[in-house]
Amino acid sequence: MAEYEVQEEWLESLPSLHQIIFLTALSNALTVAGRDSYVPQSEELEHPAHLRQINEIQHRVAACTYELLTNESTESFRRSIAHLVLDQSDQRMLGNMQWAWKRAKENLLRASAHGAVQQ
């Protein structure tokens, strides 16, 4: 089983509120991952294709979050998020996406541990 399939199962196993919190945290982490595309201390881009791809992923994550909030979400769309984020052929992009996913999971766990999310 591929890692993204394991993460699809994990995401789908969460209660709806936890999915929303995770996706919101993932959205934030993706903006940080996108910064790896910048040329340091300039307005230039070193990896414009990566930034564009991250933006497209960010769009899907935001749409999935919106659908969860409006009770329009489908299991297949929720599952597609893990595949979209974690199934990367470019190693630099994969590293950034794995970092973003891990960071979002850590943020969800931290929120749960601090009582911000009902178990």
What's the rounded mean pLDDT across residues 95-116? 93
The answer to whether the CB of 92 falls within 8 A of the CB of 36 is: yes
Q: In total, how many domains does the chain have?
A: 1
pLDDT reported for residue 118 = 62
Q: Is residue 85 part of a domain?
A: yes
The answer to whether the CB of 83 falls within 8 A of the CB of 8 is: yes
Is residue 36's pLDDT more than 80? yes
pLDDT tens figures, 79-97: 999 999 999 999 999 999 9
Is residue 5's pLDDT more than 70? yes
Distance of CA 44 to the CA centre of its chain: 25
Is residue 104's pLDDT more than 90? yes
Domain containing residue 106? 3-38+45-112
- Kindly state the helix (H) or strand (E) to which residue 40 belongs, with its residue range: none
Q: How far is the C-alpha of 53 from the C-alpha of 119, rounded, in Å?
A: 34
What's the rounded mean pLDDT across residues 8-17? 96
Q: How far is the C-alpha of 26 from the C-alpha of 109, rounded, in Å?
A: 13
Would you tell me how many other CB atoms lie within 10 Å of the CB of residue 21?
20
Q: Is residue 12 part of a domain?
A: yes
Q: Is residue 117 part of a domain?
A: no
3-state secondary structure of 42: coil
Q: Is residue 119 part of a domain?
A: no
Least confident of 38-47, 58-67, 94-103: 38-47
